[in-house]
Structure 1
Amino acid sequence: MNNSEQLLRRLPNDIGGLPADAIDRTEHALEPWEKRCHALADVLDFHKIINTEEKRRGVEALGAEMIGKLTYYERWIATFANILFQKGILTPSDLARKMDEIEART
């Protein structure tokens, strides 16, 4: 199988069997924003806004480059925003306005 065939058969986050650095298995406390992100995922799922399958597909849709650069919860946040934009629940300007509002508090 050549490289092109492998790319077509392998999703961006399917890295099993590829060379990589050692996995850091040390436990770490989640940052407050990571806990809120996880809670948001639960709320979106509970209210049937975004389900687990949509989240998985959304992360894969970010592509290999973004997946490689973003942390686990950063991928979730980007995915939630993209899905909410696609569903017309949130607009980029709504999100930008809220981010500006929060930044002004600090």
Structure 2
Amino acid sequence: MSIPDFVTRLPNDIGGLDAGPFQRVEHPLEPWEKRCHALADVLDLRKVINTEEKRKGVEALGEGLIAKLPYYERWIVTFANIAFTKHFFTPTELADKMTEVEARFTGELA
């Protein structure tokens, strides 16, 4: 009796699976991606979110979101989910802050 893949493989564990051909393209990180990486480092340094929590958080997104979201977007969603779980802020508070920040860049802030 063999163990099904869903027991032995987590959603982002794709090593060894047939993915078909792909072309590796090097590109510089976008500024927001650099900030995301810096945020991950600071959260880890300050003992807010560690590497293991981040890994588990990405896995918790499930196969569908992992396949759909680019690498750093997975991190951002994971950081938000962990922050909600740890009661640092609520989804509504995050949405309000995002609206406020967006308004600064579009000139809509009074």
Could you tell me how far apart the structure 2 residues matched to 1:47 and 1:23 are?
A: 38
Partner of 2:69: 70
Q: What corresponds to 2:15 in structure 1?
A: 16
Judge which range, 29-38 or 13-22, deviates more: 13-22
Unaligned runs of 5+ in 1: none
Distance 2:45 2:22 in 1: 32
Q: Which runs of 4+ in 1 moved over 4 A?
A: none
User: Which residue of 1 is the match for residue 48 of structure 2?
Assistant: 49
The alignment yields a C-alpha RMSD, in angstroms, of 1.3
Q: CA deviation at 1:80?
A: 0.3
Q: Which runs of 5+ in 2 are unaligned?
A: none
Partners of 1:50 and 1:17 in 2: CA distance: 29
Compute the displacement of 1:91 (Å).
Answer: 1.1
| TM-score (norm: length of structure 2) | 0.88
Give the number of the structure whose alpha-carbon radius of gyration is greater: 2
Query: 1:38 and 2:37 equivalent?
Result: yes
When normalised by structure 1's length, the TM-score is 0.91
Cα deviation 1:22-43 (Å, max 9, x = unaligned): 3432221111110110010011
Between the two proteins, the alignment pairs up a number of residues equal to 104
Identity of aligned residues (%): 67
Q: Distance in 2 between matches of 1:84 and 1:54?
A: 11
Whole-angstrom distance in 2 between the partners of 1:56 and 1:20: 22
SS in 2 for 1:13: coil
